[in-house]
Each structure stands twice: as structure tokens, then as C-alpha cells.
Amino acid sequence: MKIYALASGSKGNCFIICCKDTNIMIDCGTTKKYLVDSFSRINMNIKDIDALLITHDHSDHISQIKMFKDLNIYSPVSILNIKTYDIKAFQSFDINNVNIMPIMLSHDAKNTVGYIIDDHEEKCLYMTDTGYVNDRYLSLFTDLDHIIIESNHDVEMLMNSHRPLYVKRRIFSDNGHLCNEDCANVLSKIICDNTKDVMLAHVSMEANTYDKALAVNLAYLNDHNIDISHIDFKVCRQFEIVIGGK
């Protein structure tokens, strides 16, 4: 697999996961100009995408969906004036030779999901926009080669930010976003010998920093004696393409 994190954060999200002969796009937020420029920079065309997976209907994940209306779009929610294939958490489906398993997340948007993408040679977890991860689902997160996971905020930075109190409470809640420590805790349970890379995603530009997200995760994993010597850690950016996988 090869992974292109085109955009990741509160101003827009878009990933492309290339599996053998199948190219899968997850979400389509950010600006139209940035997406067009990003496709050009990775030498891809919209027609190269076999399917678009939607995680939920917040604008930072679907704002440019009209650009991709002619693709096969899979979504856990209906989107106005857009034809989609309805999906449900834990009901897998195939796109060409790739198996897709939606997983239920905890966010303040209806039916928010993440995805396990399995091309029968490698397996990738995409999981952002969730206030917590239910331990009952950990049995699904086995033998992961690639992990894309939210490390959204630093709690102290969030609470000291100028955001309204109700926004802070929303982000910190079980229906909000994972903080750096909670992200690291999940990683400590799902990293395995197969894991090649971890991409920290949806990092807040106001209540976190890229360096802090990486440092906290690495420190936690080392402190808990998790072997990460074989893993390439990267932090996804808001307006910069980050490439993972091989």
C-alpha cells in the first residue's frame, strides 16, 4: 500500500490509499484549489480513483464532494443531492480486490465510521474523529501494517485556548476527539510486529503542535515498553502532503 495524506485537520481532510490496482479516497474536505493542486503534485487524476469513502458529514470531511459526484461513493449517512451507497458499521464490502470494514466511532455526527482496508497483502486502519475507542473493537485491529489515527489535541493547550467553553467540552468529550495520550494508549494496544508505519492525523492547529503530538506518542510508547524500533512515525499536516506506506 501507498498512502497519501493530502490534508488532515479541522480545516479539511483527504487521504488516498493505493492498493495494488485499486485507489481508494477517504473524505474530501479542504478547498477545491488545494485538492486540485494536490492531485497534480502526486500525478493522479480524479478518474484514477476507484471509490470515495466518507467517514461522516462534517464539512471538513465532505466540503468538496461535488467534485467527486461521478465516483462510487460509500457513506454511512445520506448526503444531499449526492448519490451514495449506504454502508453500516461492521458490515464489510469489497471494492475490486480490496475488502473494506467500516468501524463505529464516537463523534458528534451521525453514524461516524473509520475503516479497515485490507488488500489481502497489507491491512490499514483509518481512524479519526472519535472521542474514545471501545475496547470491544480492539480484536478487529489485528495484524495492522499501516495505522492512521487521530492525535488531535493536548489537553492543557485545549483548555488554555481561546475557544468557547462549550467547544472545549465538545472536543474533550467521548463524542469529540482523541487527545495525544489517548491516541498513544490505543497505539500501545494495536501496534504489532507487522506494523510498518503510524500516521498521526487530525492534529489541531490551535490546541496541539505537530512536534508535541509526535513527542507525546513516542514517549508514552517507550515508557510502556512497546517496541517501535521497526515503525516509521509521521505526522499528517493540514496543507502539506505526507506520504506513508511503500
Q: Inform me whether the pLDDT recorded for 20 exceeds 90.
A: no
pLDDT classification of 90: cutoffs 50, 70, 90: very high
Going by C-alpha positions, the residue among 42, 36, 8, 41 that lies closest to residue 23 is: 42
SS3 at position 120: coil
Q: Across all residues in the chain, what is the average pLDDT?
A: 96
Q: What is the structure's pLDDT at 34?
A: 96
Q: How far apart are CA 160 and CA 158, in angstroms?
A: 5
Residues 123-157: tens digit of each pLDDT? 999 999 999 999 999 999 999 999 999 999 999 99
What is the share, in percent, of the chain residues with pLDDT greater than 70?
Answer: 100
Residues 29-58: tens digit of each pLDDT? 999 999 999 999 999 999 999 999 999 999
pLDDT classification of 212: cutoffs 50, 70, 90: very high
Q: Please give the grid coordinates belonging to residue 245.
A: 506506506
Residues 159-201: tens digit of each pLDDT? 999 999 999 999 999 999 999 999 999 999 999 999 999 999 9
Beta bridge partners of 230: none
The answer for residues whose C-beta is within 8 angstroms of residue 240's C-beta and 6 or more apart is none
DSSP code at position 205: S
pLDDT classification of 65: cutoffs 50, 70, 90: very high
Q: How far apart are CA 9 and CA 12, in angstroms?
A: 6
Q: How far apart are CA 215 and CA 227, in angstroms?
A: 16
Going by C-alpha positions, the residue among 137, 149, 135, 237 that lies closest to residue 198 is: 149
Q: Inform me whether the pLDDT recorded for 246 exceeds 90.
A: no
What is the tally of helices (H) and strands (E) in the chain?
A: 6, 14
Q: What is the structure's pLDDT at 189?
A: 97
